[in-house]
């Protein structure tokens, strides 16, 4: 069953931290803004950045539609983007994403 949040237990068992799935979408969006040759595919819907975050059994799945510069190496840019998003989420939340899927939906000319 899909949830709207992930529960993290503290290492000393003093309590739990609950993170909404929008936290992970925001971290991914901030990483994409910092990476060259790539931008998030904008949706026509207001207040929606295109990143789909799904949580099942306390596991995080991200689906990110992007546009990449026409002269950039798509494989290298996507691999670097995946690694940077994984590292940022792991570092900021102490939770490792299960899957980060980068979908190239267009090019920037």
As a whole-number percent, the residues of the chain with pLDDT over 70 amount to: 92
- Give the pTM: 0.86
45, pLDDT greater than 80: no
Structural domain count of the chain: 1
Question: Which residue shows structure tokens 């980060």?
Answer: 100
**Dihedral sign of CA atoms 44, 37, 81, 32 in order:** negative
Structure tokens at 41: 């595919």
Structure tokens at 2: 């899909």
3-state secondary structure 30-54: HHHHHCCCEEECCCCCCCCCCCEEE
- CATH code assigned at 78: 3.30.70.1350
**Cα–Cα distance for residue pair 86/80, rounded to 1 Å:** 10
pLDDT at residue 27, as a whole number? 95
- Domain range for 17 is 2-108
Question: 67-103: per-residue pLDDT in tens?
Answer: 999 999 999 999 999 999 999 999 999 899 999 999 9
pLDDT at residue 17, as a whole number? 85
């Amino acid at each position: 069953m899909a949830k709207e949040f992930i529960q993290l237990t503290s290492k000393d068992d003093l309590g739990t931290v609950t993170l909404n799935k929008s936290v992970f979408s925001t971290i991914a969006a901030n990483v994409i803004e910092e990476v060259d040759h790539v931008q998030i595919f904008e949706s026509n819907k207001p207040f929606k950045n295109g990143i789909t975050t799904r949580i099942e059994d306390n596991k995080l799945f991200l689906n990110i539609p992007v546009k990449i510069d026409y002269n950039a190496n798509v494989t290298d840019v996507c691999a670097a983007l995946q690694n940077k998003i994984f590292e940022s989420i792991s570092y900021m939340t102490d939770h490792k994403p299960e899957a980060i899927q980068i979908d190239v939906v267009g090019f920037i000319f």
